[in-house]
C-alpha cells in the first residue's frame, strides 16, 4: 500500500488552489487599480511574502503538509491587503504633487501604524488556539502559525519592498498635480460620505446599537434551543 500517491495528490491539489488564488487576486487587483505597474508591484509582494513565510515555517519546525499549505492558501488573499493600502496611499500622494520618492515615503508613513495595528489584531485572533490541548492543537496550531507568518511577511513587505519598488517603476509626473475641488464625485462616493457624516454626528447612538447587537449575538450563540 503506497500512501505517497494520496499525499502527493492532496498536497498537489492544495498547491494548485494556492496558485489559482494568487492569479485571481492579481486579476482582481488589475480590475480595481486599473494600472499595470501598480498591479505588478502588488503582485510581486505575493511570491516574496510567500517565500518569507516559508522560511519562517521552516525555522519553526513546521513541515509543508496539507494543514500548513491550507494555511498558506487561506492567507494568500490577505497577503495583498497591506500592500494595497500602501499602494493606494502612494497614488494619493502622487496626485497631490509629490515625487515618486516622497510619495513612497509619505504614503507609507501615513498608513504604517494603521496596517500594523490591523495585522496584529488579525494575528491575535489565533492566540486562543495556544490553550487547546490534544491532537486538535497539533492541527490548528500549524495552520494558525502559518497564517500568522504569512501576515507578518506581508506587513514587512508592504512597509519595505512595496514603497521601494514604487519609487522606481511608477511614472514620474511631469508637473505637480493640483487638487480640483470642482470635480464631480461618483454617486457611491457621495452616498458613502453622507453615511459616514451621519454616523459621526450620531456616534453615541451608533455605539449603543453596535454594543446591543454584539451582546445579542453573544446571547444567541450561547443559547441552546
Instruction: Give the model confidence (pLDDT) of 47-93 as tens digits.
Output: 888 888 888 888 888 877 777 777 777 777 677 788 888 888 888 88
How crowded is the C-beta side of 127, counted as CA atoms within 13 Å? 6
38 pLDDT band, cuts 50/70/90, is confident
Query: Angle between the 36-59 and 81-95 helix axes, to the nearest 10 degrees?
Result: 150
Q: Vertex 193, ends 190 and 198: CA angle to 5°? A: 130
pLDDT: which is higher, 143 or 179:
143
Instruction: Give the model confidence (pLDDT) of 181-220 as tens digits.
Output: 344 556 777 888 888 888 888 888 989 999 999 888 888 8
Rounded Cα gap, residues 40 and 141, in angstroms = 33
What's the first-to-final CA gap in the chain, in angstroms? 47
Amino acid at each position: 500500500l503506497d500512501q505517497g500517491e494520496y499525499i502527493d495528490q492532496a498536497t498537489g491539489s492544495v498547491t494548485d488552489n494556492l496558485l489559482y488564488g494568487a492569479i485571481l487576486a492579481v486579476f482582481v487587483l488589475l480590475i480595481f487599480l486599473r494600472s499595470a505597474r501598480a498591479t505588478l508591484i502588488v503582485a510581486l509582494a505575493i511570491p516574496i511574502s510567500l517565500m518569507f513565510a516559508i522560511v519562517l515555517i521552516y525555522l519553526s519546525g513546521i513541515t509543508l503538509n496539507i494543514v500548513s499549505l491550507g494555511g498558506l492558501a487561506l492567507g494568500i488573499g490577505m497577503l495583498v491587503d497591506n500592500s494595497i493600502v500602501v499602494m493606494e496611499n502612494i497614488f494619493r500622494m502622487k496626485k497631490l504633487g509629490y515625487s515618486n520618492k516622497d510619495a513612497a515615503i509619505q504614503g507609507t508613513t501615513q498608513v504604517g501604524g494603521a496596517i500594523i495595528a490591523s495585522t496584529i489584531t488579525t494575528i491575535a485572533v489565533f492566540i486562543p488556539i495556544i490553550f487547546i490541548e490534544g491532537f486538535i492543537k497539533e492541527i490548528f496550531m500549524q495552520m494558525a502559525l502559518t497564517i500568522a507568518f504569512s501576515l507578518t511577511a506581508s506587513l514587512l513587505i508592504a512597509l519595505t519592498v512595496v514603497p521601494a519598488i514604487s519609487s522606481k517603476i511608477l511614472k514620474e509626473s511631469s508637473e505637480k498635480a493640483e487638487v480640483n475641488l470642482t470635480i464631480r464625485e461618483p454617486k457611491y462616493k457621495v452616498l458613502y460620505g453622507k453615511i459616514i457624516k451621519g454616523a459621526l454626528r450620531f456616534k453615541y447612538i451608533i455605539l449603543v446599537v453596535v454594543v446591543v447587537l454584539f451582546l445579542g449575538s453573544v446571547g444567541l450563540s450561547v443559547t441552546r434551543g
